[in-house]
Structure formats: structure tokens, C-alpha cells
Chains A and B, each alone.
Chain A
Amino acid sequence: GIQVEQSPPDLILQEGANSTLRCNFSDSVNNLQWFHQNPWGQLINLFYIPSGTKQNGRLSATTVATERYSLLYISSSQTTDSGVYFCAVETSGSRLTFGEGTQLTVNP
């Protein structure tokens, strides 16, 4: 099956810093989503981005499908950005395959 690798596994920032999270995938995908898992466990949709670039406030994402990677950019990070960020891809019109996540800690 498809492999999804996220880097870095852990990231510690000071409030106000910028960061880039990366997601590599091993095969062609139909769709790609970025999620933020909050401390209570819920997965919050950030971006649905099979290709191209999208922006939402301080967050933006770029997927280069031909090169099989996606990037999530967080600018001017805040403590509320802390949590685990997951990339998930869909290949066969059904299941999502998740990476292992990036644990982000933003310190005040």
C-alpha cells in the first residue's frame, strides 16, 4: 500500500516563529488532506488540497502531486497551534492513509 512520511516528527517553536511541515507519499493520490488534532483528540480539517496552493489565515499549504509531496506552512505561530498535524492521502476512492504526524509545541 501507499506510504506516507511526515517530517519532522517533532517541532518546538517560540511564539511568533514560522514553520514548514512536510508530507511525502509513495504513489499517485486522488486527494490529500491536512488535519490538526487538538488535545481532546478531534481531527480538525485544515486543507483539502490534492494539488496547488491554498491559504487560510496564517496557514497555507502546497501540494506538488507530480513530485509526491505536500507542505504545510504556519506563520506567526501561536500557542493554540500546538498539537499534532497529520497529512492523509486517498488513493482508491475510499480509505485515507495517514502519516505518523508532526507533534508541534509552541512555547509562549
Chain B
Amino acid sequence: DTGVSQNPRHKITKRGQNVTFRCDPISEHNRLYWYRQTLGQGPEFLTYFQNEAQLEKSRLLSDRFSAERPKGSFSTLEIQRTEQGDSAMYLCASSPLMRTGRAFFGQGTRLTVV
């Protein structure tokens, strides 16, 4: 069990550019979640997958955001045409199907849009 892994750890991009983040969950976990955290706030839910199916999306996930989990293993989160308001920490978590409230988080990807 190597834990949840996220890459990159930090990303600085210019406004208008596209960015993609990767998350590798704990291998036996069926569920994978994406959260966003801005300074001074708690993490906010964006979306989650059960295996390869995306089952729920938050209203925070605008049409510039897309997430995939093509083979039910790793996941990617893409942000198109980044805006300064997208600057945040993007956190990935995974959990086993039968204990969905027991989530384990990665170290996050800190995005700065300049």
C-alpha cells in the first residue's frame, strides 16, 4: 500500500492555458474523489468515480473541468482555459467501496494561475 499519489505537486500556468493533473489511488480502492481547497477553507467536493464510472459531479465543476478514470485505476483532472480563480489545491482521495466514508487523501496538486 503506497498510498494515494498525485502529480505534479505544484503547477504554475498562465491564464488561458490547459492543465492536467494525475491521481493514482490505493490499488484496491474502487472509489476515487477529487476535491478543491482554497486558502483558509475546507476541501470542497468536485466529483467521484466508482471504478471507471463518474457517478456524481458538483456544481463547482464547470464545463472547463473534465475528469476521467478510463480503466478504473488512475484518474486525470483537466482544466481548460484556466482562470485566476482556479488557483487552489486539488486533492484526490480514494476509498474502498464498502466503507466509502473512510477516505485517504493524496498530497495534492497546488495550482497557481498567473
Residues of A within 8 A of B (CB): 4, 30-33, 35, 40-43, 45, 48, 50, 86, 88-90, 93-101
Contacts and interface: CB of A to CB of B under 8 A. Distances in A.
A95 B33 contact: yes
A41 B109 CA distance: 9
Contacts of A41: 37, 89, 91, 107-108, 110
B108 A86 contact: no
Given A30-B101, A45-B104, A86-B42, A94 B89 contact: no
Contacts of A90: 100-101
Nearest to A44: B105
Contacts of A93: 100
Interface in B52-110: 55-56, 58, 89, 91, 93, 99-108, 110
Interface residues of B, number: 28
Contacts of A96: 33, 35, 43, 45, 93, 101, 103
Interface string B6-48: 0000000000000000000000000101010100111111001
Interface of B: 31, 33, 35, 37, 40-45, 48, 55-56, 58, 89, 91, 93, 99-108, 110
A31 B106 contact: no
Contacts of A35: 105
Contacts of A4: 42
A93 B104 CA distance: 15
Contacts of A50: 101
B26 to A, nearest CB: 12
A98 B100 contact: no
A48 B45 contact: no
A78 to B, nearest CB: 22
10 contacts: A33-B101, A41-B89, A45-B102, A45-B104, A86-B42, A86-B43, A88-B43, A94-B31, A95-B48, A96-B103
